[in-house]
């Protein structure tokens, strides 16, 4: 049997132990000194992502968060903090972040063969008699199932409860479902049995972290119709269902028969720079507002980060061989305005306005791994000049009509 394990899936050892109040307080101080500038005082994110939404790109277990803070995230503004803070200070800021979570965290979805449970009741005990087919950490921390799902599922999660109160789970009556809170069965339902045989207990929960297990099974069909909500009696509810973000996993954009203009935030490149990916895999980062080529890569592709609402300002990356190119720059005494850009077969055409006059830049592939940049203007633009980073003097340097080939 194809049994998969994910390292570190073990549920969080702080279960039901309240987070040490001193540690949380010390963590709050550190957070408000350093982290708030990028993650916002309310943790909803800014330059860095939200730290209180459901989605955790780098893992939401206490160990994973500790590690992220200590070691940082390579090639991002999230630098390692191990040089600044001792381990117990890092734990403190981690505990402060954990204390602000609401809903499910460290959600693990395991799938078991449906046939095994055909004549058996669903229970935590019954799960021990069979091996899972698949087990995965759900980064989104929301319950969702794939289309054509065929199996019995076990959802295991740490439920972060925002306040003391009476809690009750509400699950629609399709298929069979059982739920456990801190190991105690609080819910059981089977659409083939009489309602009188079902169980739905409300439970008093203290603010903090509790263990929730849900086991569910329904007849095979196109999509599972499971739906669950956690009610805080007399108050509000915590949504447990969501959408898979699988479609938002990094998308790779490769060169194709046509030129492409990509607009993504890349570290070290000015925002709003046009990333021109030519069919010969040359990527020219052209900043139309400053009239300059900021960087060039050969054999390039773009690794786009997921464009999630809650994950603002995540940088995408360009993979390829960054070349020591001659970087063309246009100088003009008045500001350069971008009017439009478009791709025309294998070329990118960028139209700008310099001193009120239209100026076109055409970036085109040349051979296997070279490119050309052409400048065109109907009228002469006075106070126009060209800088080439490497050459000392250039014959065309005062002419707004030019063509250079870069190898």
By residue count, the chain amounts to: 407
Alpha-carbon distance of 293 to 234, in angstroms, equals 60
Among 9, 11, 20, 34, binds ligand HEC (CB under 6 A): 34
With CB under 6 A as the contact rule, which of the stretches 2-10, 42-50, 115-123, 346-354 interacts with ligand HEC?
A: 42-50
Site for ligand HEC in 241-300 (CB under 6 A): none
Q: How many CA within 13 A on the CB side of residue 208? A: 15
What 3-state DSSP class applies to 170?
Answer: strand
Q: Which is nearer to ligand HEC, 48 or 175 (CB)?
A: 48
CB of 251 to ligand HEC, least distance (A): 15
CB of 211 to ligand HEC, least distance (A): 22
Q: How far apart are the first and last CA of the chain?
A: 54
Query: Can residue 172 be called a binding residue for ligand HEC (CB under 6 A)?
Result: no
Q: 10 Å Cβ neighbour count for 209?
A: 23
Site for ligand HEC in 65-84 (CB under 6 A): 65, 68-69, 73, 76-78, 81
Question: What values do phi and psi take at 227, rounded to 5?
Answer: -145, 135
What 3-state DSSP class applies to 260?
Answer: strand
Q: Could you give the angle at the alpha carbon of 139 between the alpha carbons of 136 and 143, nearest 5°?
A: 75
- Residue 61: name the closest of 192, 156, 172 by CA: 156
Q: Which is nearer to ligand HEC, 57 or 185 (CB)?
A: 57
Alpha-carbon distance of 88 to 254, in angstroms, equals 44
Q: Which is nearer to ligand HEC, 57 or 322 (CB)?
A: 57
Query: Can residue 19 be called a binding residue for ligand HEC (CB under 6 A)?
Result: no
CB of 6 to ligand HEC, least distance (A): 16
Query: Can residue 62 be called a binding residue for ligand HEC (CB under 6 A)?
Result: no
Query: Can residue 58 be called a binding residue for ligand HEC (CB under 6 A)?
Result: yes
Query: Can residue 37 be called a binding residue for ligand HEC (CB under 6 A)?
Result: yes
Distances from the Cα of 7 to the Cα of 1, 61, 62, 64, 294, angstroms: 19, 12, 14, 11, 41
Query: Can residue 101 be called a binding residue for ligand HEC (CB under 6 A)?
Result: no
Query: Can residue 158 be called a binding residue for ligand HEC (CB under 6 A)?
Result: no
Q: Which is nearer to ligand HEC, 74 or 183 (CB)?
A: 74
**Residues interacting with ligand HEC, by CB under 6 A?**
34-35, 37-39, 47-49, 51, 56-58, 65, 68-69, 73, 76-78, 81, 93, 314
């Amino acid at each position: 049997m194809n049994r998969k394990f994910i390292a570190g899936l073990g549920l969080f050892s702080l279960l039901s132990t309240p987070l040490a109040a001193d540690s949380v307080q010390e963590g709050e101080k550190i957070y408000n000194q350093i982290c708030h500038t990028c993650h916002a005082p309310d943790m909803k994110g800014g330059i860095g992502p939200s730290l209180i939404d459901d989605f955790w790109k780098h893992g939401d277990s206490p160990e994973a968060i500790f590690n992220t803070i200590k070691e940082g995230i390579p090639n991002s503004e999230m630098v390692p903090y191990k040089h600044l803070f001792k381990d117990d200070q890092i734990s403190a800021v981690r505990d402060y972040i954990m204390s602000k979570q609401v809903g499910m965290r460290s959600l693990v979805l395991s799938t078991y063969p449906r046939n095994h449970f055909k004549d058996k009741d669903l229970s935590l005990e019954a799960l021990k008699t069979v091996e899972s087919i698949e087990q995965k950490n759900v980064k989104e921390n929301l319950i969702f199932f794939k289309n054509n799902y065929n199996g019995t599922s076990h959802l295991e999660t740490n439920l972060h409860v925002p306040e003391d109160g009476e809690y009750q789970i509400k699950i629609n009556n399709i298929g069979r479902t059982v739920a456990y809170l801190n190991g105690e069965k609080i819910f059981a339902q089977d659409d083939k049995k009489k309602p009188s045989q079902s169980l739905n207990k409300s439970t008093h929960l203290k603010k903090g972290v509790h263990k929730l297990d849900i086991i569910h099974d329904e007849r095979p069909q196109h999509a599972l119709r499971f739906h669950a909500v956690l009610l805080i009696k007399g108050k509000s509810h915590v949504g447990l269902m969501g959408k898979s973000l699988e479609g938002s996993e990094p998308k790779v954009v490769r060169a194709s028969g046509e030129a492409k203009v990509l607009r993504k935030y890349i570290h070290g490149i000015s925002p709003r720079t046009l990333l021109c990916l030519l069919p010969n895999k040359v990527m020219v980062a052209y900043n139309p507002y400053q009239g300059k080529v900021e960087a060039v890569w050969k054999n390039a592709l773009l690794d786009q980060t997921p464009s999630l609402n809650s994950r603002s300002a995540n940088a995408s990356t360009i993979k390829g061989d960054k070349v020591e190119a001659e970087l063309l720059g246009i100088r003009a005494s008045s500001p350069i305005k971008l009017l439009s850009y478009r791709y025309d077969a294998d070329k990118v055409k960028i139209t700008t306005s310099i001193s009120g006059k239209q100026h076109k830049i055409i970036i085109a592939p040349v051979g296997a791994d070279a490119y050309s940049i052409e400048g065109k203007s109907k009228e002469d633009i006075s106070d126009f000049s060209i800088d080439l980073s490497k050459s000392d003097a250039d014959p065309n340097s005062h002419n707004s009509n030019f063509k250079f080939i870069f190898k």
